[in-house]
Amino acid sequence: MKAAHVFWISIFSGGLALAQGPRPDDLGASPQPVGEAGVAWYTTWETARAEAERSNRPIFFMAAAATCSGISGVF
């Protein structure tokens, strides 16, 4: 649950910035230590929808760019 809070706090604290579009220089480090559990994301709509139907759980939908100014390795 600690990791969950790290995620949601970090993502929500970026709300205003997201509304305006963050600049690369505004981006710091992830608050999550490497190797610890994060969100178990589904990364295709097909698998996500299948799992939602299977488990009857609502979907948190997020779309974002896995690049920053065309530079990869950022999500």
Strand pairing class (71-72; 67-68):
antiparallel
The radius of gyration of the chain's CA atoms, rounded to the nearest angstrom, is: 14
As measured in angstroms, the least distance from the Cβ of 54 to another protein is: 5
Residues 55-74 that bind another protein (CB under 8 A): 55-74
As measured in angstroms, the least distance from the Cβ of 45 to another protein is: 6
Contact 13, 24 (CB under 8 A): no
Binding mask of the shown chain, residues 15 to 54, with x at each position contacting another protein by CB under 8 A: xxxxx-xxxxxxxxxxxxxxxxxxxxxxxxx-xxxxxxxx
As measured in angstroms, the least distance from the Cβ of 2 to another protein is: 8
Instruction: Please give the DSSP secondary-structure letter assigned to residue 14.
Output: T
